[in-house]
Amino acid sequence: MTSTPMSNIPEILARLRRSVAEGRARPIEWRRRQLDGLEALLVEHQDDFARALAEDLGKSPAESWLTEIGFLLTEIRYVRKRLARWLTPERVRTPLATLPGRSWVQREPLGLVLILGAWNYPVQLTLGPLVAAVAAGNCAVLKPSELAPASAAEMAQRVGEYLDRDGVALIEGGVDRATELLAEPFDAIFYTGGTAVGRIVMQAAARHLTPVTLELGGKCPCLVDRNVNLPVAARRIVWGKFLNAGQTCVAPDYVLVDRRRHDELLAAMVDAVGRFYGREPRASADFGRIVNRRHFQRLERLLEHDGSPTGRVILGGDRDADSRYFPPTILADVSPDAPVMQEEVFGPILPVLAVEDMDEAIRFVNSRPKPLALYLFSNDARLRDRVLGETSSGGVGINDVAMHTTVPGLPFGGVGPSGMGAYHGRHGFETFSHRKAILQRGTRGDFNLRYPPYTPAKMRWLRRLLGRA
């Protein structure tokens, strides 16, 4: 499938809006067919997607399976198994003042939703929200990122073969296509990406009072206490940081480690990188590439501050702009004011800062914008409770990184500048659903207590009735 002509976008949207008006996506059978179609699409074309992901981001087949295809299959199967239960009306207690009667909450689809995907996990972050959208009974427009063109083209070619064309459409293109789509009224917009574009999306949505879900990012801190198994902590930090060449919104963005374990942690992380990717990560099939030259140059600029190196390079090496190879890089002695500590790194550069204790680490985290994720490595239950109670973040991983995103029952989303709204599992179903409040009463025995005129006797009874929960 080629890029969608601009002139065709109004036609596509008109067709999908007719489907919404006709209730095409409401039956549970339609929703299940779309979930089945997504599963078949991913299973039957997993090799095609792997090739596209390798072309866009240098991902290995194993990484493509673990973080994109397999991740989505788990989500689809989890949602499909529970969908009928989620659609069951939810009874709520009816207060005395409205008896006889019954009350319940009923989920209904929002209508036509726009999903703007991201380039770093282009398949997962485009089709993942779609799983939730169709499960909730919505029609959807997908706009994958143009920065991962091979993956976008693969999805464009396949989506129409496996999903209902009158319920789901994929529109390729760049900023111009996204701009035209954002000018249209939708019933919800779901965006994954950076904060700057997130603001643009929110401004566009405000013109139509369209609800938005923003999955953004931020600088995810990783706190390492002195009371911890350092080799395990180092392996998990290194894995989460250098997965997808660091281009992961929940990757540890910097490490705050107790000064007494600082050097030991650095040595353990260097050892872990060698074990994972060898002495020359460039030759490793498991280490990816930067998405494009612009982002490559942005990462290079982060390694200098006022013309001087940002910090002491503990691990790094030669880079190659032509192949977009940027090696795993670990920095020490980094100033908190350096550029690498001011913006989200989103690449394979990991600053490590020593702190006197975890009190200082907590203060440091709280002095900065709320992150998408926070990680703590510690065996101290009291410290764990303090971090959970005294800091704010979209999610938390204790003694691990990034893995909380793989738990379907946990909501995934940010807080404050790291995003708003959440999805995965039931949380995605709820994000794309309207919870309709319903009270049903009979017409026999219509007491006049609530009707004027309000005599003193009526008011005494009303106060009694309305005061009871």
Number of domains, the chain: 2
pLDDT at 149: 97
- For 397-419, the pLDDT digits (tens) are 999 999 999 999 999 999 999 99
Q: What is the pLDDT of residue 2?
A: 41
Task: Determine what percent of the chain is predicted with pLDDT higher than 70.
Answer: 97
Q: Are residues 181 and 242 in the same domain?
A: no
Is residue 220 annotated as part of the catalytic site, yes or no?
no
52 with 74, same domain: the answer is yes
Residue 449: the pLDDT is 85
In a domain, 253, yes or no: yes
3-state secondary structure of 341: helix
For residues 179 and 295, membership in a common domain is answered with no
- Which of 27-41, 85-99, 181-195, 262-276 bottoms out in mean pLDDT, i.e. has the lowest? 85-99
> 167 and 300 in one domain?
no
Question: In whole angstroms, what is the distance from residue 454 CA to residue 460 CA?
Answer: 10
CATH number of the domain to which 365 belongs: 3.40.309.10
Give residue-wise pLDDT tens across range 72-84: 999 999 999 999 9
Q: Quick check: is 50 in a domain? A: yes
Annotated catalytic residue, options 63, 172, 215, 344: 215
Mean pLDDT for 83-95 is 95
- Domain of 55: which CATH number? 3.40.605.10
CB 352 within 8 A of CB 320: no
Residues 182 and 237 in one domain: no
Confidence of residue 6 (pLDDT cuts 50, 70, 90): very low
Tens digits of residue pLDDT in 321-374 = 999 999 999 999 999 999 999 999 999 999 999 999 999 999 999 999 999 999
On whether residue 443 sits in a domain, the answer given is: no
Whether 55 sits among the annotated catalytic residues: the reply is: no
Q: Is residue 391 part of a domain?
A: yes
pLDDT band of residue 3 (cuts 50, 70, 90) is: very low
280 in the same domain as 177: no
Residue 65 lies in a domain: yes
Within-domain flag for 458: no
126 plus 225 within the same structural domain: no
Tokens 């380039």, residue located: 119
Beta bridge partners of 330: 315, 350
Considering the domain architecture, whether residues 266 and 365 belong to the same structural domain is answered as yes
469 pLDDT more than 70: no
* 186 and 76 part of one domain: yes
Tell me if 447 is assigned to some domain. Answer: no
Two tokens, residue 431: 């994000």
Single residue among 384, 413, 442 that ends a domain in this structure? 413
Catalytic residue among 139, 220, 222, 249: 249
Whether 336 and 227 share a structural domain: yes
Whole-prediction pTM: 0.94
> Is the domain of 408 the same as that of 429?
no
Are the beta carbons of 226 and 103 closer than 8 angstroms?
Answer: no
- CA 242, CA 238: separation in Å to the nearest integer? 6
Please report, rounded to a whole number, the percentage of residues in the chain having pLDDT higher than 90: 90
The per-residue DSSP string of 138-189 comes to -EEEEE--TTSHHHHHHHHHHHHHHS-TTTEEE---SHHHHHHHHTS--SEE
More confident site: 6 or 313? 313
CA distances from residue 456 to 97, 98, 446, 461 in whole angstroms, order as listed: 18, 21, 20, 9
138 and 243 assigned to the same domain: no
> What range does the domain containing 31 cover?
6-216+419-433
On whether residue 455 sits in a domain, the answer given is: no
